[in-house]
Amino acid sequence: MTPRLARTTGALALAFGALWSAPAGAEKADRFQPLNFAADAARVEDNQRLNILSGNVEITKGTMVVRADRVEVRQNADGSQTATAIGGPGGRAFFRQKRDGVDEAIEGEAERIVYDGRTEIIRFTSRAIMRRLQGNTANDQVSGPVIIYDNKTSVFQVQGGGSSSGATGRVRGVITPRTTPETPGAESTR
């Protein structure tokens, strides 16, 4: 990544992170919920701690929902799970999870989605789109070749093209102004 692109990517991550930085990460209770799935086929490799689900896969874990053509779920030594979702309608897998303490959710689509339950980081790769929904209304949206979202801190990074990343394309987004009630006694600066 060129120094200029690195600065631009970093600035975008900070700007969008500040917009979504309300004190709400992923729904905290989700990490203690069982993982439920439905699929056309399942293969369990117990010695490898690996479950391979294929065909119309839908996974739920509390408020978290993942839909894809294929999902590989690995049980980590610490009890957390890592899931890799590939393909789905239009060639993209889908992820959605409610944010803790607010009526908001994060959802996204990409050709490949990797959720690391240990770090609570989601990586959307190839034709990636991520939205912040307030209720059922999409308020903010970003797209790019790679989006990395930290569920604990509500900070994300969108990576565009660059020679070292192997990604091509531009980062795009829509930021909806947030309405916040004025503080009583505060004077307008107009």
pLDDT of residue 71: 97
Whether residue 14 is predicted with pLDDT greater than 60 in this model: the reply is no
Mean pLDDT calculated for residue range 117-142: 91
Which two structure tokens, joined as six digits, stand for 53? 């689900």
Higher pLDDT, 94 or 162: 94
Helix (H) or strand (E) holding 3: helix 3-19
Helix, strand, or coil here: 137?
strand
How much of the chain is in helix, strand and coil states, percent to nearest 5?
Answer: 15, 50, 35
Helices (H) and strands (E) in the chain, counts: 1, 12
Q: Which domains does the chain have, with CATH numbers?
A: 3-174 (2.60.450.10)
Q: What is the pLDDT of residues 46-105, one digit of tens each?
A: 999 999 999 999 999 889 999 999 999 999 988 889 999 999 989 999 999 998 888 889
**Residue 15 pLDDT level (bands cut at 50, 70, 90):** very low
Mean pLDDT calculated for residue range 38-48: 95
Give the span between the Cα atoms of 106 and 140, in whole angstroms: 10
pTM, to two decimals: 0.75
pLDDT of residue 86: 98
